[in-house]
Amino acid sequence: MTDTAIRVIFVEDDEDVRIGCRQALELAGFEVEAFASVEAARPRVQAGQPLLVLCDVRLPGISGLDWQRELQALDAELPVILITGHGDIAMAVQAMQEGTYDFIGKPFASDHLVSVVRRAADKRRLALQVRALREQLEQRQGIEATLLGRSPAMERLRQRVLALAATSADVVIYGETGTGKELVARCLHEHGPRRKANFVALNCGGLPENLAETELFGHEAGAFTGAQRARVGKFEHAHGGTLFLDEIESMPMSVQVKLLRALQERSIERIGSNKPIAVDCRVVAASKEDLKLMAEQQRFRADLYYRIGVAFIELPPLRERREDIPLLFEHFSLAAQQRFQRAAPPLTPAQAATLMSHAWPGNVRELRNVAERHVLGLAGDDLPAAEGAPPPAAGATLAMQLEHVERTLIADALRRQHGDVVATAQALGIGKQTLYDKLKRLGLRAEEFR
């Protein structure tokens, strides 16, 4: 058994039943501590421990029902399974209403007992893992509280952001939709010397060409029809701070020329004015496409690319850092619970496996939406039971379950591609080096699939 295995605290005064149930559970892989009374078992139960309670209702001294109430007060998430030989339906209903996980009536088959205990163990294991994730989230400070993740890719990203944040160098952030480009841009601003000034964001993709110049540089009163008063543009508003140009690849060519001049001169002129205004701001641009390739294809100005392309940050897609999914999902779930003022339904191990196996084309943004729908009870279509994955063994942690899913996905892809690592990486939508790292961590050898 692993250190994270769920122990079973079993209380039954009938010695024959106690011995038989203990043997059945131990054969199923559980660690069992059996007692003849609540008084004897009570010292073995502490809040937050990896255990569950299986207890007869009718006992000498404290009854199982009374102990269940005591345990509920001690640890509300502790699964308690009650056993009775009296067929008392009213008692069963009352116990379930008071928080009992399940109710087993004597006589019962050993496989039914094992099934109920295994489900309770899965619930307890997941609850403890969620609790640990919450504690990790609460303990995080600084950039770790913003750029969440324990994967090597996220560690490298945080180090790069902090290194660049201390400078005033212009930065281009590359990343797929939903990877958090604006979040990284804000971190560059908030962890640098310009944090006390404005962070100004402009989405170039949603900006009509006839309004782009006004948005960037502002205008004087009377500069054009409808300009009744002067307006400060984004550049001027970002003076002393950071100007974030999202989807810069979508900026019209005519506006790129004026942006280039503003960056070179570090001054702007409002529309309708000939007076230059000095602007000191850091420019952070974000793009889904390779700007250098676009420049070579004459779809983006090469001189502008070389002006803003001082430093680069590439954001990894979520499919390349699946080990971060549980932490991110818990973070978004907690935020949604506060926002919607409702508790989230428990996440089952099968749903956790589904989260790991999904391709996440929308990346972190898609994961956040799924977490919010889960809190609202609307995630049935997003989180079905995972198909084709065998149930985890008793004692398997969430990390072990997720690693199993990842190993299965990669092995299947390698098999389909006959062990070709390059083709497999392309099929999985991840980088070749990322796949090599995963093969090493998971103990897989590509040549075994040729």
Tokens coding 256: 């790129």
Nearest to 405 by CA among 421, 392, 420: 392
Higher pLDDT, 3 or 157: 157
Least confident of 9-23, 30-44, 84-98, 109-123: 84-98
Least confident of 9-23, 144-158, 191-205, 436-450: 436-450
Q: For position 281, what pLDDT does the model report?
A: 94
Element (H, E) at 283: strand 282-287
Q: Over range 93-120, report the average pLDDT.
A: 87
Residue 3 has pLDDT above 70, yes or no: no
CB atoms under 10 Å from CB of 24, counted, come to 18
> Cβ(374)–Cβ(382) under 8 Å?
yes
Show me where the domains of the chain are located.
Answer: 7-138, 152-315, 319-449
Least confident of 183-187, 217-221, 403-407: 403-407
Q: What is the pLDDT of residues 419-432, one digit of tens each?
A: 888 888 888 878 88
Q: For position 36, what pLDDT does the model report?
A: 94
The partner residues of 412 in beta bridges, in order of sequence, read none
Residue 311 has pLDDT above 90, yes or no: yes
Q: For position 440, what pLDDT does the model report?
A: 84
Q: For the structural domain made of 152-315, what CATH number should be given?
A: 3.40.50.300
Mean pLDDT score across all residues of the chain: 86
Higher pLDDT, 161 or 136: 161
CATH superfamily, domain 7-138, is Response regulator (3.40.50.2300)
Alpha-helical segments (H) within 238-340:
253-265, 291-296, 302-308, 325-340
Q: For position 382, what pLDDT does the model report?
A: 67
Tell me if residue 7 falls in helix, strand or coil: strand
Share of the chain above pLDDT 90, in %: 47
Residue 416 has pLDDT above 50, yes or no: yes
Nearest to 34 by CA among 7, 57, 59, 60: 7
Side chain identity at residue 368, one-letter code: R
Residue 386 has pLDDT above 50, yes or no: no
Equal fold, 7-138 vs 152-315:
yes
> DSSP 3-state helix, strand, coil percentages of the chain (rounded to 5)?
50, 15, 35
